[in-house]
Amino acid sequence: MIDLKILKTVEALKGLTDDQLAAIQKCSEKMEFNQGERLFAEGGDSAHLWIVLEGEVELRNDRPEGQPNPIKDPITFISKAELFGWSSFMPPFKYKLSAYGASPKCEVARIEKESLVKLFENDADMGFELMSHILRVIGTHFYQFRNGIAQRWGHDIMSGW
Amino acid sequence: MIGNDFLQSVGIFKGLDENQLSTVQSCCRAEQHKAGTKLFGEGEPASHLYIVKKGQIDLRFDLPGRPTSEKNTISSILEFKAFGWSALVAPYKYSLSAYCTTQTCEVVKIDRQCLNKLFEENSRLGYLVLSNMARVIGKRFQKLEKLATASPVSMVKVIVHLATCGIVAGARDVMGALMEEMSSSNRSDIKVESSGCIGKCPTEPNVTVQIEGEDPVVYQKMDAEKMRQVFHQHVLGGQIQTDYTLVEN
């Protein structure tokens, strides 16, 4: 069982009431991973949201050599009480990066997206609160990616003149 | 007047009931712009969310000291599609500039503060719109990833000649069919433009297809069905449809 105290510290869940957090707790599953062990693979079906309960998780690009990948995603470390796996809320519902345990002990909560959506359908306040956060994260990643392309193309245009 | 019929055809308002659509309508205002008009600039406060009602809006990055150009286009937004969603995502600043690239553009402007107030009053409405928005961004993300692997200079342009003579002969239907095919093609590297008469009034509606590195091909006496065929066979498939090409007398 995931401790409610930890859920209360998660930035994305801070606007939720105790009852709402308890509902999320019920559709969460606690899992443990060793350092270097893979939680999920890039390109795999993204059906869960994840929260780090203890330790750290590393998100990194795993694409095999030779496949086009013009703009490298930076390696990101996810710390305690942070949420990740937001690609479960946007098409094509595939993980954009792989996740690995990055500390000797890595404890995470895995929340099934479908169960979460059912909660949102019944409690629109919770749905709106959490979707606002998810949209902010998705939007930030989209901007970063788009800016990367704009910078590269801008450079091509400037140097071509 | 912006009707519920229009709003319910827009992806980000999918699933909203009549009452919810009517409340959204109260935050909307229609605007018309001419070709080349800049609707908003990169870095400006994102005070409105927009939807294209007619025409095409290009989202472009600006280069210091350089005029805007289609080479700076990151996304082309067609009818019923939303843009300027920075209005709903912090830090609420437009990340690209928006330009009207068809002869005229009709857009629906939705006031950010008004929309946020609606979301506060009706969280179900807010939840539905934000969920739809996440899906829209996801699809744009996918398109952009595809675009990032393609060369920015491998341009394909389809020009519908929309002068009075063309319009009388049915060029608007041709443009409509082209827009529909564009929407479902997922090919953001293809540009759609309108232009004036090319001096061939008896053969209107005329359509020009320009593919980088190839001679432009002018099609004559087009209609919606022919346009769909040209789009699939020539624009996407590379096969010129000689039955419809302009015959010079």
Closest CA to B87 of A139, A89, A130: A139
Strands (E), chain A: 28-33, 38-40, 48-54, 57-60, 76-78, 83-84, 98-101, 106-112
Radius of gyration of chain A, Cα coordinates, nearest whole angstrom: 17
The predicted pLDDT at position B152 comes to 46
Please determine, for residue A141, whether its predicted confidence score (pLDDT) is greater than 90.
no
Q: Which of B111, B42, B110 is nearest to B74 (CA)?
A: B42
Domain count, chain B: 2
Average model confidence (pLDDT) for chain B?
Answer: 88
* Overall average pLDDT of the B24-30 stretch: 95
Looking at per-residue confidence, does B194 or B25 come out higher?
B25
pLDDT of B144 strictly over 60:
yes
pLDDT mean over A38-60 = 93
CB contact under 8 Å between A131 and B127, yes or no, is yes
Position B21, amino acid: L
Cα–Cα distance between A127 and B130 in angstroms, integer?
9
Q: Which of B148, B181, B210 is where one domain is finished? A: B148
Report whether pLDDT(B20) > 90: yes
Q: Where residue B35 sits, what CATH number does that domain have?
A: 2.60.120.10
| Interface check B64 vs A, CB under 8 A | no
**8 Å CB contact of B126 and A153:** no
Instruction: For Cα atoms B26, B29, B35, give the angle at the middle one, nearest 5 degrees.
Output: 160
Phi (first) and psi of residue A137, to 5 degrees: -65, -45
Q: B165 lies in a domain?
A: yes
Cβ within 8 Å, pair B123-A124: yes
- The Cα–Cα gap between B78 and A22 comes to 43
Co-location of B140 and B213 in the same domain: no
**Helical axes B18-25 vs B123-149, angle rounded to 10°:** 80
Domain of B60? Answer: 4-148
Smallest CA–CA distance from A147 into chain B, residue:
B95
ipTM given for this complex: 0.84
Query: Which residues of chain A are within 8 Å of residue B149 when distances are taken between CB atoms?
Result: 68, 70
Domain identity same for B128 and B16? yes
Nearest residue of chain B to residue A121 (CA atoms): B124
pLDDT value of residue A3 = 86
Residues 6+ apart with CB under 8 A from B141: A90, A138, A141, A142, A145
Helices (H), B85-203: 112-121, 123-149, 164-168, 171-185
User: Could A90 and B124 be called an inter-chain contact, meaning their C-beta atoms sit closer than 8 Å?
Assistant: no
Query: pLDDT band at A157, cuts 50/70/90?
Result: low
Q: Could you read off the pLDDT of B84-114 as tens digits, one per residue? A: 988 988 889 998 999 999 899 999 999 999 9
Choose the final residue of a domain: B148, B164, B197.
B148
Pick from A72, A90, A120, A132 the residue to mutate for testing the B interface (most B CBs within 10 Å): A90
Contact B83, B98 (CB under 8 A): yes
Which of B106, B132, B148 terminates a domain? The answer is B148
What confidence score (pLDDT) does residue A68 get?
A: 43
Same-domain status, B9 and B106: yes
CB pairs under 8 A between A and B: 103
> Is B168 found in the same domain as B95?
no
- What confidence score (pLDDT) does residue B186 get? 64
Reported residue count of chain B is 249
pLDDT digits (tens, 9 = 90+) for A101-130: 999 989 999 999 999 999 999 999 999 999
Determine whether the interchain pair B90/A90 forms a contact, defined as Cβ–Cβ distance below 8 Å: no
Peptide bond just before B205 cis, omega within 30 deg = yes
Phi-psi domain of A93 (left: phi exceeds 0; alpha: psi -120 through 50; beta: other): left
Q: Which pLDDT value is given to residue A71?
A: 44
**Interchain contact, A91 vs B149, CB within 8 Å:** no
Which residues of chain A have a CB within 8 Å of the CB of B126? 124, 128, 131-132
> What integer pLDDT is reported at residue B149 of this predicted model?
63
- The answer to whether B93 contacts chain A (CB < 8 Å) is no
Residues of B with CB below 8 A from A92's CB? Answer: 138, 142
Query: What one-letter code names the amino acid at A79?
Result: S
Q: Which of A25-29, B59-63, B143-147 has the highest mean pLDDT?
A: A25-29
**Contacts with B123 from chain A: Cβ below 8 Å:** 124-125, 127-128
Within 8 A of B97 by CB-CB distance, chain A residues are none
pLDDT score of A131: 93
Confidence of residue A72 (pLDDT cuts 50, 70, 90): very low
Kindly state whether residues B60 and B141 are assigned to the same domain: yes
Report pLDDT for A148.
79
Q: Does residue B249 sit within a domain?
A: no
One domain for residues B143 and B161: no
Segment among A67-81, B10-24, B146-160 with least mean pLDDT: A67-81
Nearest CA in chain B to A141: B141
Task: Identify the pLDDT of residue B67.
Answer: 81
- Percent of chain A beyond pLDDT 90? 52
Closest among B91, B187, B82 to A139, alpha carbons compared: B91
- Specify the range with the lowest mean pLDDT, choosing from A124-128, A157-161, B191-195: A157-161
Query: What is the domain-level CATH number for residue B180?
Result: 3.40.30.10
Please report, for chain A, the start and end positions of each structural domain, with discontinuous segments joined by +.
4-160
Residues of chain B with C-beta less than 8 angstroms from the C-beta of A128: 119, 123-124, 126-127, 130
The answer to whether position B121 is within a domain reads yes
Kindly indicate the confidence band of residue A152, based on its pLDDT and cuts at 50, 70 and 90: confident
Is there a contact between A127 and B89 if contact means CB atoms under 8 Å apart?
A: no
pTM of this structure: 0.71
CATH top-level class of A4-160: mainly beta
B155 neighbourhood in chain A, CB within 8 Å: none
Rounded mean pLDDT, A78-88: 90
pLDDT at B166: 85
